[in-house]
Amino acid sequence: MPELPEVEHARGLLESRLVGRRIQDAHVAEDDIVFEGKTPKEVRAKLVGRTILSAERHGKVHWLTLDTAPHPVFRLGMTGGWRFEGDEPMPLDASAAAVDRTWPPKFTKLRIVVDDGEMALTNARRLGRVLLRASVRDEPPVSELGFDPFASMPSPAAFVAQTKGRRGNVKALLMDQSFSAGVGNWIADEVLYQAAIDPRRKVDALSPEELLRLRAQLEAIVRLAVEVDARKELFPKGWLFHRRWGKKPAAKTLDGEVIERIKVAGRTTAWVPTRQH
């Protein structure tokens, strides 16, 4: 599922291809789930003729700011992605063996036409959303999100303060979008692995030192993943990411530590018991 780095990649793609351009046409699929009950005619009427001023993101949500409200807001869901006509598609699923190179791509929900081409939004499982919002940051879903670890990481003191009164385990905290927007399963596991913290630990039992270690790793992992444009092959070889997938009983880290899989916060969790305490 796309997490913060993948969505930042999508935002950057929109920025490079669409910002400053006028929407000449929009092809909208009939899908009352993805478009929140809006008809193709309604969505198209709000887009065509508008000029795109900026492409923005908070957590896993990204949007285009137009010269006239409402603005289109996008959630990629598990399988959503953007592609500009003629560009090589980027696989978002770490296990994907192949990518779709047809045009328009399969499962296209929206095509935005500008003067030099088209941008297509695909959504195979219909778990993503295309929303229209008059004031994006002041309305759900963005108004309900916590800090963005890449764009608005709290200071160390503020981070510790925001954990006060939080109950439950630390993995659930990291994945709570009202706490840290954009963190999903693999980022949470990577942060806890590199911070050497057991994912089952209770938040209120973590020491200030452990919380600061958690913050430092969250910031570093997200920033590096964004800097390499979410290209998984460019992640450091020692990251748990490269060995956390699947159910191989003999899976080990680069250093030879055994990787175990358990359920935490309702999600399959990869962790290293000899390292994480």
Contact present, 73 and 130 (Cβ < 8 Å): yes
Q: Which helix (H) or strand (E) holds 158?
A: helix 156-162
Maximum Cα–Cα distance across the chain = 59
Amino acid making up residue 159: F
Cα–Cα dist 90/9, whole Å: 10
Burial 66-95 (b: 16+ CB within 10 A, else e): beeebbbbbbbbebbbbbbeeeebbebeee
Cα–Cα dist 213/275, whole Å: 14
DSSP-derived letter for residue 246 is S
- Catalytic, 2? Answer yes
Pick from 198, 202, 216: nearest CA to 166: 202
- Catalytic, 139? Answer no
Pick from 184, 181, 174, 185: nearest CA to 244: 185
DSSP-derived letter for residue 153 is P
Q: Which alpha helices (H) appear in 2-110, and where do they start and end?
A: 4-18, 40-47
- The one catalytic residue in 3, 8, 118, 190 is 3
- The one catalytic residue in 5, 6, 8, 60 is 60
- Catalytic, 248? Answer no
Residues recognised as catalytic: 2-3, 60
